[in-house]
Structures are given as C-alpha cells and as structure tokens.
Amino acid sequence: MSLLLSAPILAAIVYAAIAGAYLLVIPVVVLFYFKARWYKTGSLERVFICFLAFFFFPGLLLVSPFFNFRPEARQI
C-alpha cells in the first residue's frame, strides 16, 4: 500500500487533479453561470464575471468549442 501512495506518485495525482479542475471542471461551471446570468447582471457582478473569464481563460478556450449558447430563434 505504501508503494501506491509514495510521495512522487501522490504529488502527481494531486497535480493532475488540480489541473483537471482548473482546465475542465471549473470552466464548465463558469460557462453555465455565464449563460444563466449574462443578461441579468449588475455592474459588480459583471466585474466578477470578467474576473472569472480572465482567471479561467485557458480552460474556457479548451471547453467552449463543445458548447453552443447562441440565443434561440424568435417566433415571428
């Protein structure tokens, strides 16, 4: 058991988990937050949204091609 969780392997697992969260998990949550709140935000929340886009930019670049958040077609 101690061989499986030795220090270098444990460090690699922790780094992979942090990188996966930063590049995949949190940007997906941020995208859905953008979709839900984009047209309803106040000025402070818009600053917070811009901060999230800046902070998670690499992950947003990786994840955004797989989502389509265009407005739905209007009935005329």
**Residue 68: how many CA atoms within 13 Å on its side-chain side?**
1
Q: Find where tokens 């709140």 sit.
A: 37
Q: Indicate if the alpha-carbon torsion angle 35, 16, 18, 50 is positive or negative.
A: negative
The H-or-E segment that residue 59 falls in is: helix 57-63
Residue of 76 and 22 predicted with greater confidence: 22
Span 35-52, pLDDT tens digits: 898 888 899 999 999 999
Percent of the chain with pLDDT strictly greater than 70: 95
> Looking at residue 62, what is its pLDDT?
92
Tell me how far apart the alpha carbons of residues 6 and 67 are, in angstroms, rounded to a whole number: 39
Q: What pLDDT is attached to residue 47? A: 94
Per-residue pLDDT at 1: 52
Residue-wise pLDDT tens digits, 50-72: 999 999 999 999 998 898 887 77
Residue 31 is predicted with a pLDDT of 93
